[in-house]
Amino acid sequence: MQAEQDKVVYFHYSVSDLDGTEIENSRRGEPMAFLFGHGNIIPGLEQALRGHVAGDQVQAVLEPEQAYGVRREDATQRVPKKYFAEAAKLKPGMTTVLRTDHGTRSVMVVKIGSSVVDVDLNHPLAGKTLSFDVEITDVREATPEEISHGHVHGGGQHRH
């Protein structure tokens, strides 16, 4: 079965920057799973996997526009400390998770005040050209429920 619209694709991947420094590697855990065609993974990687089947190895070098976007210089925002899980542990330069109405997102701490924190909303990998090394481990039909929700159920990816 080919990776395409409304299929669930399981894969292992590693991603490096252009210096060859490994940034992430899924092979220490379970394969990742995503529902094809619903914006669940970065667009360039989804397009690179299109049409591939279980067992295929796929290499893709993605410019920032096809990965996590270009860095925006005006993406700093002042956020009340209560939105951070562990505000007391924050330090400038570290990446932390911010809770929002739309879920969580990674931000970089720029500056810490007494009641607010200035954060950089750029994705930590924004502005980087990334080299992906992917192995597709399985492709299956999505359930109607998964398609209506727009994401994969089970496999440790998502809980209701």
Residue 8 or residue 58: which is nearer to Zn ion going by CB? 8
Q: Write the binding mask 1 to 20 for Zn ion: x where contact by CB under 5 A, - elsewhere.
A: --------------------
| 149 contacts Zn ion (rule: CB under 5 A) | yes
Residue 121 or residue 147: which is nearer to Zn ion going by CB? 147
Q: Cα 160 to the chain's mean position, in Å?
A: 20
State in angstroms the smallest separation of the CB of 42 from Zn ion.
21
Evaluate whether 1 touches 50 at the Cβ level (below 8 Å): no
Instruction: Give dist(CA 39, CA 48) in Å, integer.
Output: 14
Residue 51 or residue 154: which is nearer to Zn ion going by CB? 154
| 38 contacts Zn ion (rule: CB under 5 A) | no
State in angstroms the smallest separation of the CB of 41 from Zn ion.
16
Report the C-alpha dihedral over residues 25, 38, 124, 23, rounded to 10 degrees.
10
Residues in CB range of 143: below 8 A, 6 or more apart = 153
Stretch of 5-13, 38-46, 70-78, 144-152 lying at the interface with Zn ion (CB under 5 A): 144-152
**Backbone φ and ψ of 49, nearest 5°:** -90, -15
Residues that bind Zn ion (CB under 5 A): 149
